Structure 1
Amino acid sequence: MPPLPRPRRIVGVSLKMYFDLQNTLSYVRGVHQLDGDAWNARVDLFVIPDFVTLMETARILESSHVMVGAQDTFWEDKGAYTGEVSPTVIAQAGARIVEIGHAERRAHFGETDEWVAKKAGAAARNGLIPLVCIGEKTHHSIASAAVGAAVEECKPQVTSVLAAVPDDVEVILAYEPVWAIGAAQPADPDHVVNVTKELRKLASNRSGVTRIVYGGSAGPGTFAKISEGVDGLFLGRFAHDIHNLKKVIEEVGA
């Protein structure tokens, strides 16, 4: 049986909490200027600002091909949940994607696989694409052991989410080894390819699109080395410079 065709490539960037309001909107306008380049036919692009600038970001990018994302969501659509953000409101604000379960949220706020799965289900219920961050905490020095350990740690993160969303809903899995986030170099290419190939098998029976992106000190030259395993890149601080973002998009689009 021939392998299934690979999904369309995708590149995204999260602004986390690095920018103030004006710098965020200035950055988003810069992203809008990238729209219309040759990569549009081959690559999807998304940007994830903070919640406060979400609606204005969506307004700026409304006439473009660039998708807008949110950095988190709650698992209920409405109710007495002070300080949380409803997935219904996120969708109404113009977002298409919602990032869930980033390693920082798992570490700082105690998010569990169960919480992440419930949030993914809520996102899907409201027509949003769940972008679920997964990754192992420990880095083994022996390559063969590292791959097996990574798959074992990531597997419940993936299966819990896939069980919580309809089979035909698009899901993006962001493979981000925790030990590679903020590191000087991305994870070893062979490691990324071998782990993501195994993780892709977990979604092989889904009717909906499942894309896998890599995040963790990704930059120019990263995608070409790992394209056998992933469909794109999820960028952090490196891409907060528009010129760097453009360079990566061009590489992925090539």
Structure 2
Amino acid sequence: MDKTSIFGLTLGIAAILLGQVLEGGHISSLIQPTAFLIVIGGTFGAVMLQSPLRVFREGVRMAKWVFAPPPSSHAELIAHASAWSHVARKEGLLALETRIPTLSDPFARKGLQLVVDGVEPQRLREVLEVEIDAWGAQMKQGAKIWEAAGGYAPTIGILGAVMGLIHVMENLSDPSKLGSGIAVAFVATIYGVGFANLVFLPISKKLMAHVAAGVSLREMLVDGLVGIANGDNPRLIESRMQGYVP
């Protein structure tokens, strides 16, 4: 669980609500279901229009990484590679075949299988780097739907405010309703700007950071597998992989 994300989101929302109270306003005046519907519905409608369904679903699925990041244990991966290199030097590359079914990561399974199959080190690196590039590009597309949402939300919020003002103008005959009507109209703008800068854009940046970490982890594994295929000393392989650790 990423406690920083939880604390950051809570702090941002609490600061805005506290500011509203200190200014003499009421929190209830910021709760407008109609404005929420316009901003959120309009924003995600625009994002779905610009993105293929596969990319949109991937981006929504990735949102859980903000609070529950994907596992990325550098130490565990280095330990695995070190053990594989010792086995390969003592018993040969074919002895690693029994280790493949124990791996839960498809990328690691594929890489180790290529090593067992005797693929040349340079060719091994090329094949796995293509897969890393494809994975990274796919994940970045998913993360960018949140960046797109952050771009659309403020504009949709302004649209909601204008719609509210139109409704106010239709009731000019009743001056007692003008003040509250205008206040309600501008809540849509608050929602648009607030969701963009407190939710959508931060989510996008956090997901991009996790994607970059995933790419680095895979590159580290490739370096280790290439070292095993080359027959490098296990200590050298471990030392080289340690260079990827933040």
TM-score by length of 2: 0.24
Structure with higher RCO (Cα < 8 A, 6+ apart):
2
Q: Which has the higher helix share?
A: 2
Q: Which has the higher strand share?
A: 1
